[in-house]
Structure 1
Amino acid sequence: MSKLVAFGPRPAGSAELARAREYIIGELRSYGLKTWTDEFTAQTPIGPRRMANVVAELGGQSRDVIIIASHYDTKYYRKFRFVGANDGGSSTGAVLEIARVLAARHERPRFTYWFVFFDGEEAFCEGWTDCGTPENPDNTYGSRRFASRLEKEGELNRVLALVLLDLVGYKNLELARDTMSTRWLVDLIWQTAREMGYGNYFIEREEGIGGDDHVPFLQKGIEAVDIIQLSTYPYWHTPEDTLDKISPRSLKAVGDVVLASLPRIEQRLLNRRLR
């Protein structure tokens, strides 16, 4: 993720984000994954912006899909330099590493996996809801586009679950249970964390996040979980969200827990299918 941060601020539509995108695509292809982009133009409060979601596929025994996702853009600021080491950088790095580990096993998982990097998660206005409308918000441009496109193409019913990562690298990591997320996914992941000795990172406190890239999928009936540290991250959307706030131990804990949770998620989905 240090390479991502080195590109500098990476708001949607910027040359810096385009360079970050090429880096992400290059990494995914080096793992042997089929990779493509979903490009589109979004109307934003500062005018039209070209955006692109990045998708990589690990084919499974079933065409049914589990998505592991992050946003890879950073928030747009004019008044200071925002490099988003944790907010965008940490989760992007974590999803890349999860993709690398799963691809390196050289075995077909029970389900197909899509590793999705959403563009345009961040609002262009100062606050999350300062601009836009409930029907057309100034945020989650990429995830809304991706979920809508799946629905239009008749592919939405293939997606059984979404695991979203966002702000997962802070050295004082405390991941509360998002109240909007699907309960059984939260319970399963947090129980896995406790069993692995990571209960000090995945804490037993509920928190209302108030919206993220999992929401467009929840709204379309897809079960989803958001793994995020928001209210207790003191550098959120400040110029101090820099690499010195990030801990490799925190990133390892999140990666370990997600990887250990995936077979359990698969089994839960398979059991439901057999009922």
Structure 2
Amino acid sequence: MPFLSNRLFFKRLPILVAIIAGAYGCNSNTSSEQTAEQAPAALVKSADFNADSALQFVQKQVDFGARVPNSAPHKACGDYLVATLKKYGWEATEQPFNATTYDGTKLNARNIIGSFNPKASKRILLAAHWDSRPFSDQDSLVKNKPVLAANDGASGVGVLLEVARVLSKEAQKPDIGVDIIFFDAEDWGSSDSGDNGIEYSGFCLGSKHWAANKHNPGYTAYFGVLLDMVGAKGATFFKEGYSMQMAGDVVRQVWTTASRLGYSNYFIDEAGGAITDDHVPVNKVARIPMIDIIHTNQHNLSKTFFDQWHTSHDTMENIDPKTLKAVGQTLIQVLYQEAQDQPL
């Protein structure tokens, strides 16, 4: 099928409901007839997600500069992420690895893992990539300049750092295990979608490494949620294609939660294109059903992602706390529902 971007955004196609999701043991195993007869689970009381705090976490990352692997800002930001997780009482694990990019560059990279309530048997995995793209290949003028990546990277990390802070401060902590992975070396891929001989077109190096070499060899999770580009003004999150194929029940749970919280203007109840992102190796190799919350312009095929994607203009002025709130509060609610075994 034809590619519309370097993240392999396929032509929009109707996606069959729950193609593979049942194989991963997600929540909904009832028939559609039975489900229709059941009253929806009540929204349990959850903690509040602070959008201003999340915005500060995004700003802090951008203040380091472009977090391109092998650079000083990259190392400094990684140290900050580890220290912040520890500050909030999370177990922090660093997973250093070496990777070779599609253009032959050798990277010294590290995935960063934080664990909340590490002894809990039921675990939810949350993830985002924390590196910046080394070149602004979609920019009309400065194509060789590294991307500051306020949205494409820092926004997802900022949301997850706020989730970490919120869970650590709650007097009544949810009785569930949560793991956060900040994947490295996600964004050093080829912009030429015709490079079919390169796995994932050279993207997703950190998630690919983790999926094959989990930080705990026996690690598993009930399901996972990946955040990518979740801070732009007026963001729209369609039901990404691979997520529907491999974890459809999780997609429906998250989108239903968002709708009941009043965020259906962000979480659009429509099928989206299939996008190669960090959730793909997690699904295919680690065998954990993970979905992708990712901003796409589904009805504007000339602009697959947000307007500043892979340009020098992916900066803080384009980040909206309202979007961070919609995503972060939805995640918090999903965690609290799962803690009380009342998924929607």
Read off the aligned partner of 2:327 and give its amino acid letter. V
Counterpart position of 1:62: 120
Counterpart for residue 155 of structure 1: 218
Kept after mapping to 1: 8 A contact 2:129/2:228: yes
Q: How does 1:130-145 map to 2 (within 5 A)?
A: 130=195, 133-134=198-199, 137-145=201-209
Identity percentage of aligned residues: 31
Aligned to 1:249: 322
Larger radius of gyration between Structure 1 and Structure 2 = 2
Cα offset, 1:47, TM superposition: 2.4
Residue in structure 1 matched with residue 291 of structure 2 by the alignment? 225
Residue 173 of structure 1 pairs with residue 223 of structure 2? no
Letter in 1 for 2:191: E
Which residue matches 1:3?
Answer: 60
| Counterpart residue number, 1:110 | 175
Report the more deviating stretch, 239-248 or 43-52.
43-52
The DSSP-based 3-state class of the residue aligned with 2:270 is: strand
> 1:18 matched to which residue of 2?
75
TM normalised by structure 1 equals 0.89
- Structure 2: state its 5+ residue gaps: 1-57, 136-142, 297-303
TM superposition outliers: structure 1 runs of 4+ over 6 Å:
none
What's the Cα RMSD here? 2.2
1:72 lines up with 2:162 in the alignment? no
> What is the number of equivalent residue pairs in this alignment?
267
Q: Which ranges in structure 1 are unaligned for 5 or more consecutive residues?
A: 271-275
Q: Which has the higher contact order (CA 8 A, sep 6+)?
A: 2
TM-score, normalised via structure 2 length: 0.72
User: What CA distance in whole angstroms lies between the structure 1 residues aligned with 2:185 and 2:119?
Assistant: 32
Corresponding position of 2:10: none
- How far the C-alpha of 1:27 sits from its partner, in A, is 1.3
- Listed one character per residue, the Cα deviations across residues 34-57 of structure 1 (whole Å, up to 9, x for unaligned) are 112000111222322100001111
Partner letter of residue 76 of structure 1? Answer: P
- Residue 225 of structure 1 deviates from its aligned partner by 0.9
The structure with the greater share of residues assigned to strand is 1
Return the alpha-carbon distance in structure 1 between the equivalents of residues 291 and 340 of structure 2.
17
* Superposed displacement of residue 149, structure 1: 0.9
